[in-house]
Structure 1
Amino acid sequence: MTYGGKNEVKETKIELLNLNYKNFKMDLDEDIKAMFDPFSIIVNELKGFREPIPKDKPVRKLIYSLPDSWYSKKTTIIEEKSLKELKLDVLKGSLFTPEMMMSKGKKIEEKVIVNMNVALKSSTSQQEDSSGEE
């Protein structure tokens, strides 16, 4: 009874899961994997309680849960794919690709900034050395 045998406990768990599902959003500093894992748990637990979830509902929910920075990718997925046929795993893959590209771009950008700072420090040091000699 403690772990869901009683109807009241089951109903409460289902209500909480539905609330979590309804309020689900991706945080701005969150990556796709960090977003997908808790969402998958919510969906799987709802299915475990035999809650009817239309096939395309989780896909739509995830797409619309993405922050505004993902606007162009959301639009592309909505326009190019049939959301009724799209599976969560395929959506996950579609979202991982641009995220990997963005993170690679950030790493390259960070490297360039670090290298620029080193170059600026080096040229500043050389100017200080030459002005110190005078």
Structure 2
Amino acid sequence: MNLNVGLEGSSITRPPFFDGNNYSFWKTRMTIFLQSLDYQLWNIVVNGPRMPTRTIEGVVSPKPENEYNDNDFRMLQLNSKAKHVLFCDVGPNEFNRISSCDTAKEMWDLKNLHMKARIK
């Protein structure tokens, strides 16, 4: 573990790096980092992205991309941004574990599950 993190301070532009140690410290810092970038990023990490849908005659279905509006694109962009932040904070081993996830929520949940299993 890099003990200098607490002594040197942190970057407000770079996510906290997770080196596989002191998960609770990293998790708290990452939570605040995501919230500080855009609170909706944290909402997407916790609840998952809102996929664009449409309702026709009472039936809800995925919206075709050619019908997306600006808000639909913003929600999808926020998921991509959250995924990017979560990718930027890990090394190759953790990257390989989470790289197949489609959403930031899946990445976050997989990290939590993996760390809980390691701690036991």
Relative to its length, the structure with more helix (as a share) is: 1
Q: TM-score, normalised on structure 1?
A: 0.42
Q: TM-score, normalised on structure 2?
A: 0.45
Relative to its length, the structure with more strand (as a share) is: 2
